């Protein structure tokens, strides 16, 4: 995670090397050239670090959109309360 990664949007933007304003809920794996297999692994590692929750194999294949990552984050936050 980069020092400027204050939000999950920053994390995703940094992992995919795209502008923050392109990180919208509808954005999904392989929809843009930058979100390929390699970037997805990098993204999952950053998501894991950001939320402090392990991203298992099943999650790797489920967290394939910004919306899914946000929902995962919301669930992590709710669980930790």
Partner 1 sequence: MASREQDGCFLHAGFLRSAARHPDRPALSLRGQHWTYAELDELARRLAAELIGSLGRPPGRVGLLTNKSLVSYVGMLAILYGGGAVVPLNRTFPVSRIRVMAMTADVDVIVTDTDADSAGQPEELTTADWQPRVVVLSEAASAPRLRTPHTPAEEDLAYLLFTSGTTGTPKGVPISHGNIAHFLHNNTGRYDFGVDDRFTQIFSQTFDLAICDIFSAWQSGGCVVPLDAIHQLAPFRFVREQGITVWCSVPSTVTLLRHKGLLTPGSLPTLRWSLFCGEVLTEENADAWQLAAPNSTVENLYGPTEVTITSLAHRWDPAGSPRSGGEGGVPIGTPHPGVLTMIVDAYGRPVGPGEDGQLCLAGPQVFSGYWRAPELTAAALFTAPDGTGVSRTWYRTGDLVRRLPDGEHVFLGRTDHQVKVHGMRVELGDVEAHLKALPGVGQSAVVALPGEIDGGVRLVAFVVGPDLDAASATGLVDALRGRVPNYMVPQRLHVLPEVPLNHNGKTDRAALMELAAHPSDRKVTP
Sites of contact with partner 1 (CB under 8 A): 17, 29-30, 33, 36-38, 40-42, 44-45, 55-58, 60-61, 64
Can you say how many angstroms the Cα of residue 43 is from the centroid of all Cα atoms in its chain?
A: 5
Q: Tell me the closest approach of the beta carbon of residue 16 to partner 1, in angstroms.
A: 12
Q: Which is nearer to partner 1, 30 or 78 (CB)?
A: 30
Element at 26 (helix H, strand E): none
Report the distance separating Cα 13 and Cα 22, nearest Å.
8
What tokens were used for 3? Answer: 């020092």
Q: Which is nearer to partner 1, 14 or 81 (CB)?
A: 14
Q: Which is nearer to partner 1, 65 or 78 (CB)?
A: 65
């Amino acid at each position: 995670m980069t020092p400027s990664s204050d939000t999950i949007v920053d994390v995703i933007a940094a992992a995919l090397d795209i502008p923050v304003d392109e990180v919208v809920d509808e954005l999904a794996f392989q929809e843009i050239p930058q979100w390929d297999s390699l970037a997805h692994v990098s993204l999952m590692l950053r998501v894991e670090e950001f939320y402090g929750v392990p991203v298992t194999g099943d999650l790797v294949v489920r967290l394939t959109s910004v919306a899914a990552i946000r929902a995962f984050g919301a669930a992590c936050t709710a669980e930790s309360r």
